[in-house]
Amino acid sequence: MRVLSGIQPTGRFHWGNYFGAIRQYIALQDNVQAFYFIADLHALTTIREPQTLRQLRLDSALDLLALGLDPEQATLFMQSDVPEIAELTWLLMTITPMGLLEKCHAYKDKKAKGLPADAGLFTYPVLMAADILLYDSDIVPVGVDQVQHIEVARDIAQRFNHLFGETFVLPAPRVLDETAKVPGIDGEKMSKSYANTIDIFDPEKKLRKKIMSIKTDSTPVEAPKDPEACHIFTLYKLFASPGQQAELAQRYRAGGMGYGEAKQALFEAANAFFAPARERREQLAADPQRVFDILDRGAQQARAKGGEVLARAQAACGLAGLSD
């Protein structure tokens, strides 16, 4: 079984990225053939500052490796280092109905808000389909909001297979476990779109400042509090052991504890949780050539597999050599 997933380098990874997706990518690498890529071509639909994109591409690689993605078990590569992806995208574009793309939520949402939508956003699902189909992917881990794109990839693959014969493996989504709610500093879902994130690799000082800025209600210090109704405690549960959770919950219910103490407990738990990854990241950042080598090796592996699938698709639709 081959699993594939990509993550856009449109900002530094935050707690929501880790608990909602990245830790599950890392868990999957232990027992399947895994291809993970940094989706820098997709990022071009939103980032127009070259230096910013260059830095975010490197940061994404450093972060994933520091968090536990093992290049000896999984193939990590930069999307733009695999030119076969653009070639396959064009083949798929020629058989993709316009109506299918017009139904996709990213395009529809932007259009509904009166925002400019360029051709990159409109055809984004076709590039995503090519990302998936190029490696004969069986399983694609995605959030609930991305399931539609897997369905589009399947529709495109089925149409190509119908027109030209069996060519592509039909992928299946694996919906990521998003039951662990990750609220942002305002209590809403943690998201870059809401500017309410806590970054995984924030320096300690900045991390503490962000945690101390988490919004709370006006319950007095002396009053008992319901831990399950407090998003500080929701975040704390992501990092703490069952025993630690029970102890802090008791302090909430007993009264006499202010939210500042709960925030300090969260800071200490989160800081300790990510400390090993922070140390690994510092080591990797001090030796960038090692990271470049990992990405180069990953791109070679991705191109080897992608080249096979692209050749199969080219032959199917009549683009193989004239002498064949």
Using the predicted structure, report yes or no on whether residue 178 has a pLDDT greater than 70: no
Tell me the average pLDDT across 199-223.
96
What Cα–Cα distance (Å) separates residue 31 from each residue in 112, 177, 255?
42, 18, 47
pLDDT band at 238 (very low <50, low <70, confident <90, very high): very high
pTM: 0.93
Look up 225 and say whether it is catalytic.
no
pLDDT band at 57 (very low <50, low <70, confident <90, very high): very high
Give pLDDT, residue 10: 92
Tell me the average pLDDT across 207-226.
96
Give pLDDT, residue 145: 77
> If we measure between CA atoms, which residue out of 266, 60, 62, 268 comes closest to residue 182?
266
274 contacts 201 by C-beta, under 8 angstroms: yes
Question: In angstroms, how far is CA 280 from the centroid of its own chain?
Answer: 20
Residue type, 184: G
Tell me the average pLDDT across 35-53.
95
Look up 215 and say whether it is catalytic.
no
Q: Where does the chain show beta strands of DSSP type E?
A: 2-7, 33-38, 74-78, 139-142, 172-175
Domain 202-282 of CATH type 2.10.260.10 = no
For residues 50 and 121, the model is more confident at 50
Question: In angstroms, how far is CA 286 from the centroid of its own chain?
Answer: 25
pLDDT band at 321 (very low <50, low <70, confident <90, very high): confident
Q: How far apart are CA 307 and CA 321, in angstroms?
A: 15
Using the predicted structure, report yes or no on whether residue 175 has a pLDDT greater than 90: no
173 contacts 148 by C-beta, under 8 angstroms: no
Q: Which two tokens stand for residue 162?
A: 């119908």
The answer to whether 2-181+288-317 and 202-282 have equal CATH topology is no
Domain boundaries, the chain: 2-181+288-317, 202-282
Q: How far apart are CA 19 and CA 147, in angstroms?
A: 18
Fold of 2-181+288-317: Rossmann fold (3.40.50)
Average pLDDT, the chain: 93
Look up 305 and say whether it is catalytic.
no
Using the predicted structure, report yes or no on whether residue 324 has a pLDDT greater than 60: no
**Active-site entry in 110, 111, 181, 215:** 110
**Active-site entry in 103, 192, 210, 263:** 192
Give pLDDT, residue 323: 67
Q: Which two tokens stand for residue 70?
A: 């093992």
Residues 6+ apart with CB under 8 A from 56: 9, 10, 11, 12, 43, 47
The count of C-alpha atoms lying within 13 angstroms of the C-alpha of 69, restricted to the half-sphere facing its C-beta, is 32
Using the predicted structure, report yes or no on whether residue 65 has a pLDDT greater than 90: yes
| Buried b / exposed e along 235-273 (16+ C-beta atoms within 10 A) | bbbbbbeeeebeebbebbeeeebebeebbebbbbbbbeb
Residue type, 181: K
Tell me the average pLDDT across 253-272.
97
**Active-site entry in 103, 189, 206, 215:** 189
Task: Encode pLDDT of 105-117 as tens digits.
Answer: 777 777 777 767 7
The count of C-alpha atoms lying within 13 angstroms of the C-alpha of 227, restricted to the half-sphere facing its C-beta, is 22
125 contacts 152 by C-beta, under 8 angstroms: yes
Using the predicted structure, report yes or no on whether residue 142 has a pLDDT greater than 60: yes
For residues 166 and 146, the model is more confident at 166
